Each structure stands twice: as structure tokens, then as C-alpha cells.
């Protein structure tokens, strides 16, 4: 029979033996992991080797091919553009950090604008390229709670028409094609003036035949009824402002009320459909002033919600972001003004050419 000292010694020996085996196991596992990493084939390296081999084969074949002078393939150019990443513009909020500088929206009403006649497909369904003019965050309450990020886009081929209207609104002569620094400052002051800016944008939106779109992305989950009610309040307040302060009764007839009901219907009537955080709401205005409402989810799938034929609805909604004593997002208004001032720095027509 072992004494207590002998028993303690035997127990320590068993413990040390277990620890040694555990250490051996740890070392073996580490060696196994290291060996797996070293010996596992690198798929990127294999892909690079495959591309190099393919390129070498193409170069070899090209030496035996007769090459004729011809314009580059349009299809290939389109594919190359699709592969390129679209430039992203910071929004100033971490919730929705960026907006694309260029978007493409389908159009079925391209015949009213002279530039639209040159769009692919003529009057048929076609994708139209739009460029970001300016953006900002919409906030509510004194706490500055962020609701959504909104950006104004304009069809690239309509930028020249906007340039021309803005330049002539300050220079006052048809031959002017750009503005000097002093005239740019005058245009900025005019656009930011609550009366002059409203008059200028009201005329441009009503008569400019420009295709524009607002891209709205909520910073938190919301629903269409909530958005619709906010838009309706803004439209109604602006129409009352024109009637009471500007003595303009063109927004007070029965047909305007019917058009406003059409706008409510486009947002689903009384149904509380959700618009998740990060999904997109597009408010589009074509060259005839028709207001379109559609959504785009995170996969890029779009759903058309409706059209409002009466151009007054879209005009008042656009003015609610662009001009007047109070706008829905002052940062967006300031950014849009800065964006259009960049347009008038260059001769009319050159901005669109550079973007395309």
C-alpha cells in the first residue's frame, strides 16, 4: 500500500503525462493547419494563370488574323461600361453613405424633348442616363432626426437645355453660353432668394421640358403612407402659398384636387406598405411633366407604382426641394445649387458631352 507521499507523486506523474500529450496534440494541429495553408492551391493564382494563357492564345491567333479598319463594336463598348464601377458620391451620413453619380431609368415618353428623339429606341422603352445634380439629408424635429437621403438627377442629354435656361436667366442674351464669376454669384443669389428662386425654378420646371428624377433612400424603415402624407402636406402647403402669397389660383381648381387624389392612389391608397431602410423610391418627371412613382429593392428589382398626368403635382413637389422660404432639405437645396453652378461654368452643351 502506497503512502500519501507516494500517492501524491504518482498523481503528479499522471498529470504531467497528460499535459505532455496535450502539448503534442496542439503542435500536431498547428502543423496540420500550416501544411494545409501552404499546400492548398491558390484559386486566384490559378485564375491569373488561366487568363494569361488565354491572352497568350489570343495574341497568337491575332498574328494570323487580317485586321480591317472599322469602328469599335457598340455592344462591346456597352459591356465595358457596364463592368466599370459607377462613381459614388458621399452623402454625409453613415446610414446611407453614398449615392451613385450616374443612374439609368427606363422611359416610355421620350418624344416631347428634342434631345429625347436621339435616345436609343426613339419612343420605345429605353434606358436613359441620368447624372446627379445634388443631394442632402432630410431631417425632422429640433433633434435633427434623419428620415431619408434625397438626390436630384437630370437626364444627361437634357443638361444643355438646363444650362441654357440658367445662363440666359442672368446674362439676358441669347448668345451667352457660359457665366463669368460675377454672373455666377448673381445666379447663386437668385436661386437662393425665396421669391426669385421660386419664380426661376417654377418657369424652368413648367416649360423646360427636362427629364429629372428624385432618388429617395430612407435611413430607417418607413411605409408609403407616411411618405405620401408628408408629400401631400408639402404639395398642399405650396399650392396655398401660391394662392395666398402670390395670388396664383392655378392650383386651386377641381382638376388639381383630382390629380392630388391620383397621387395618393399611386402610393397605395390606405394600404400601409413598407419601404425598408436602404430601398429606393424614385419620383420621376418626364419631358411632358408626367410624375412617375416607382421603387427599387436592394436586388435592383423595380416596381412601377403609378403615374400622375397633371404636371402641377410634380412641379409643386419639385419646388418643395428646390426653392422658396422653406424646403424639405436645406442641405439638398444648397448641394443642388452648387451642382447647377458647375454646369454654367462650361459652355452650353459641353457637360453632357463629357459625361457621355
- Fold classification of 75-355 is Chalcone isomerase (3.50.70)
State the cell numbers at 288: 411632358
**pLDDT tens column, 295-328:** 999 998 999 999 999 999 999 999 999 998 889 9
pTM of structure: 0.71
Phi, psi angles (nearest 5°) of residue 125: -60, 125
What pLDDT shows up at residue 239? 92
Which residues, including other chains, have CB under 8 Å from residue 149's CB and lie 6 or more apart? 91, 93, 96, 99, 135, 136, 137, 138, 216, 217, 219
Which helix (DSSP H) or strand (DSSP E) does residue 150 occupy?
strand 145-155
Which helix (DSSP H) or strand (DSSP E) does residue 137 occupy?
strand 126-140
Quote the DSSP letter at residue 247.
-
What pLDDT shows up at residue 68? 41
What pLDDT shows up at residue 84? 53
What pLDDT shows up at residue 29? 74
Return d(Cα 65, Cα 286) in angstroms, integer: 48
Name residue, grid cell 410634380.
314
What pLDDT shows up at residue 131? 95
State the cell numbers at 174: 441669347
- Residue length, the chain? 356
What pLDDT shows up at residue 55? 53
Phi, psi angles (nearest 5°) of residue 233: -60, -40
Asked whether 315 and 202 are in contact (CB, 8 A), the reply is yes
Closest C-alpha among 333, 296, 310, 288 to residue 152: 333
Phi, psi angles (nearest 5°) of residue 336: -65, -40
**Which residue ranges make up each domain of the chain?**
1-66, 75-355
Write out the chain's pLDDT in tens, 356 residues: 667 777 778 778 888 888 887 778 787 777 777 666 656 555 555 555 655 565 555 554 444 444 444 444 444 444 444 435 789 999 989 999 999 999 999 875 433 344 444 444 444 467 899 999 999 999 988 778 899 999 999 999 999 999 888 888 876 655 456 777 788 888 999 999 999 999 999 999 998 789 999 999 999 998 898 999 999 999 999 999 998 988 888 888 889 999 999 999 998 765 668 899 999 999 999 999 999 999 999 998 999 999 999 999 999 999 999 998 889 999 999 999 999 998 887 776 666 655 44
Asked whether 153 and 159 are in contact (CB, 8 A), the reply is no
Amino acid at each position: 500500500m502506497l503512502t500519501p507521499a507516494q500517492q501524491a507523486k504518482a498523481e503528479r506523474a499522471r498529470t504531467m503525462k497528460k499535459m505532455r500529450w496535450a502539448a503534442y496534440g496542439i503542435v500536431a494541429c498547428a502543423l496540420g493547419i500550416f501544411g494545409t495553408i501552404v499546400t492548398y492551391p491558390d484559386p486566384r493564382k490559378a485564375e491569373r494563370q488561366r487568363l494569361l494563357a488565354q491572352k497568350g492564345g489570343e495574341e497568337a491567333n491575332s498574328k494570323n488574323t487580317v485586321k480591317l479598319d472599322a469602328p469599335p463594336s457598340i455592344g462591346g463598348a456597352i459591356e465595358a461600361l457596364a463592368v466599370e464601377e459607377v462613381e459614388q458620391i458621399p452623402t454625409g451620413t453613415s446610414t446611407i453613405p453614398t449615392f451613385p453619380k450616374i443612374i439609368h431609368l427606363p422611359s416610355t415618353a421620350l418624344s416631347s424633348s428634342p434631345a429625347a428623339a436621339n435616345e436609343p429606341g426613339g419612343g420605345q422603352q429605353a434606358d436613359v442616363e441620368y447624372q446627379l445634380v445634388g443631394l442632402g439629408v432630410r431631417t425632422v424635429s429640433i433633434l435633427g432626426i434623419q428620415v431619408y437621403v434625397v438626390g436630384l438627377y437630370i437626364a444627361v442629354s437634357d443638361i444643355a437645355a438646363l444650362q441654357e435656361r440658367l445662363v440666359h436667366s442672368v446674362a439676358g442674351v441669347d448668345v451667352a453660353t457660359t457665366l463669368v464669376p460675377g454672373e455666377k454669384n448673381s445666379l447663386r443669389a437668385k436661386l437662393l432668394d425665396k421669391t426669385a428662386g421660386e419664380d426661376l425654378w417654377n418657369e424652368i420646371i413648367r416649360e423646360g421640358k427636362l427629364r429629372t428624377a428624385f432618388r429617395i433612400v430612407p435611413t430607417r424603415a418607413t411605409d408609403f403612407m407616411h411618405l405620401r402624407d408628408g408629400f401631400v402636406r408639402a404639395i398642399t402647403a405650396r399650392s396655398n402659398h401660391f394662392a395666398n402669397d402670390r395670388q396664383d389660383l392655378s392650383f386651386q381648381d377641381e382638376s388639381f384636387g383630382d390629380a392630388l387624389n391620383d397621387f395618393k392612389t399611386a402610393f397605395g391608397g390606405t394600404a400601409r406598405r413598407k419601404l425598408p431602410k436602404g430601398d429606393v423610391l424614385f419620383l420621376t418627371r418626364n419631358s411632358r411633366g408626367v410624375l412617375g412613382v416607382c421603387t427599387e429593392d436592394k436586388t435592383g428589382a423595380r416596381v412601377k407604382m403609378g403615374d400622375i398626368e397633371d404636371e402641377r403635382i410634380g412641379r409643386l413637389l419639385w419646388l418643395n426641394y428646390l426653392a422658396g422660404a422653406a424646403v424639405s432639405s436645406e442641405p439638398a437645396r444648397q448641394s443642388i445649387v452648387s451642382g447647377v453652378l458647375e454646369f454654367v461654368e462650361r459652355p452650353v452643351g459641353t457637360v453632357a458631352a463629357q459625361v457621355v
